[in-house]
Amino acid sequence: MGIALEQEARANDELERGATAYRALYEHWERHQWSALAIDFTTDAHSFRALEADKREGLLWVFAHRFHAEFNVARQLAPFLLAAPSWELELLLATQTADEHRHLQAVLRVYDEVFGVSGFAAVQELADRHLDAVAETLYGRLEHYISRLDAERDPDTFLKAVVVYHLIAEGVVARTAQNLAAPMYERFGDFPGLAQGQRLVARDEARHIGIGVSYCRERMAIEPERARALVAEVIEEFTDVAAALLESTSPELADLARTGYGVEPDGFYAEAMRLLELRLRSIGFLA
């Protein structure tokens, strides 16, 4: 890893682990703009066409996760904006909404220019065909918590939604997939555009995780017992669901995990649990 990439990785780590002032999180967004139209996928398209069939299928499965993740988080951010308890937090969530739609646009370019699938409807249809039961269950739980913000905009409902969205969906599930997918491009061949896109998305998402961490730490400081109980409620459900999904993993899904991410399902689960502990320490829930 080059010096610049090492410095960026350290900066991302600092955003994810510590409380950051809302102003600093906004300034980070202003300083780190990028264009979904500027990434060159020419080499990636050649590399994809040269892949063996099982590896092409593994890459399509990984990007089905990417499409559904970005599509779901982009459309589900709107209730957060309406329920935000302060202007500063509302502003950050607005910048995050812009980020998520840009991420989705970058994924659509991958489908078009690398996989040869054009148009939102065609991409969604292909991604739906690669949507597995594990991912579908996790997206369902995400929507369950966030949809409650439409009717209940109180601080407790908002905190639980932040834990689910920022700490678990982005900080655990998405980050696990990114960490495991990073070496995939080298295993599969020459994919500089996909690697660059993932690096840019990861930098954005480090800030998103930082937004959640900062808000949760704020609530933990103001009312520690109440906030701890609410966080514990969400985490208990997530760990129960994750364990049940691991137990029910099909052989076909295990094969896709080995091809796409290069790990067994329990390896994905172990990385997710490692990151969950890290997130809980970052908000002061664990010592």
**Tens digit of pLDDT for each residue in 145-176?**
888 888 899 999 999 999 999 999 899 988 88
Fold of 40-282: Ribonucleotide Reductase, subunit A (1.10.620)
Six-digit token pair at 80?
């957060």
| 250 dihedral zone (left: phi>0; alpha: psi -120 to 50; beta) | beta
Q: Give yes or no for residue 217 having a pLDDT over 60.
A: yes
Contact 135, 239 (CB under 8 A): no
Burial of 262 (0-12, 13-18, 19+ CB in 10 A): middle
Contact 80, 110 (CB under 8 A): no
List, for residues 240-258, the tens digit of each pLDDT value.
888 887 887 888 777 877 8
The pTM of this model reads 0.91
Q: What is the band of 61 on the pLDDT scale with cuts at 50, 70, 90?
A: confident
pLDDT above 70 as % of the chain: 98
Distance in Å from the first CA to the final CA of the chain? 31
Which of helix, strand or coil describes residue 201? helix
Which is nearest to 115 in space by CA: 46, 184, 54, 65?
46
List, for residues 13-30, the tens digit of each pLDDT value.
888 877 789 999 999 999
